[in-house]
Structure 1
Amino acid sequence: MPPITTTYGTITSTPTSTSSRAKHTRRPWAELFSISSFSLPISYADAKARIRVNCSYFCVNYVIIMLAIVFLTLLWHPFSMIVFLVTFIFWWFFYFFNDNPIVVFNKTVDDNVVLGVLSFATVILLVLTHVGVNVLVGLVIGVVVVGIHSALRGTEDLGFVGEEEEENGLLPVVGSQPLRPTFGYNRI
């Protein structure tokens, strides 16, 4: 897809890099746990759609929750906690607080690849410290917690346009220009 130029003519970006950056933002915790936004999904398809949108929108928050749960399963294993804290430093610098994309061999690495590599490295390093069962239990608990939260949290108040909606041409219209000319009509 060709780059899209803004009205200023100085900034160019592709939609995929913009949406990738948008997914890499930690959202406010109050927004994540807003009581008024929780409701039961209408159907299985609605639950799947909620999970997809919420996992995209709250990706960094959910990663922090998963890491915290895995950390709690390591409380009685001091050496494993040290290994986890060392890997958490890599999480900190390469994922949580890295505003610039990571470049390896003059190629920009997608945030999802960074997330996958850090997750894999964390699990492997912890399993090598002989706490594989603890890591597995922590990951299962984390997936269940994130899954339940993302299925129950409504997506109507997010103001987030996912990549699937962009591809299908479903974009928000609030504040946009009218599709038809309004000549001869009085605005109220």
Structure 2
Amino acid sequence: MKPMTSSTPAILPISNPQTTVPSAAQSQPPIVTPAISTFISNITDTVRNGLGQRRPWSELIDRSAISRPDSITDATQRIRKNYSYFRVNYFALIAIVLGISLLTNPFSLITLAGLLAAWIFLYLFRPSDQPLVVFGRNYSDKETLGLLIVASLVVIFLTSVGSVLISALMVGLAIVCCHGAFRTPEDLFLDDQDTAASTGFLSFLAGSSSTTKIASVVAGRV
């Protein structure tokens, strides 16, 4: 008798491969581009809102209000009153002088831009739980912070960047003091001088929601 053969075909085992995610992709840090965009947007909004509080520039350059002060005491009082009124304009003038100084010194501008980029990409928006790898060596978060502080001190005090910044600030302050001393403040509305001291440019920056978000990002790294 011939052996009976089964008519059912043999079932071959079929493997169902699962898609595996590479470990490198799992450990890939989150993209920080949106955070940087938010950071820049917050700074832009803060500066724009701060400049919105400036006084009319026509009042600042009014030639009819220019007169020589009677004494040093009179000049000091004028500077104090004009500073309370033209606070935002004065900060804008100092920023313009600082910007012109950096534009006329490309090395200082490039160095400061590189230092700022290092702080942003290597510390502020880098995940603190992941070490920084440079030439095969791992640097912890504290080591990265220490290196950035040392680099900042070297750039500011051991290069021409520091002298450019200090010179620009001194020139800006000299312009502000000269204008404040020779600008007669009698035609200015100084009745709300007490409230102007609390609504100036720097106090606006300190109390703005945009700056609070920026400060929270920096505080989260400490």
Higher relative helix content:
2
Question: Rg bigger for which structure?
Answer: 2
- TM-score norm. by structure 2 comes to 0.42
Highest RCO, 1 vs 2 (Cα 8 Å, sep ≥ 6)? 2
- TM-score norm. by structure 1 comes to 0.48
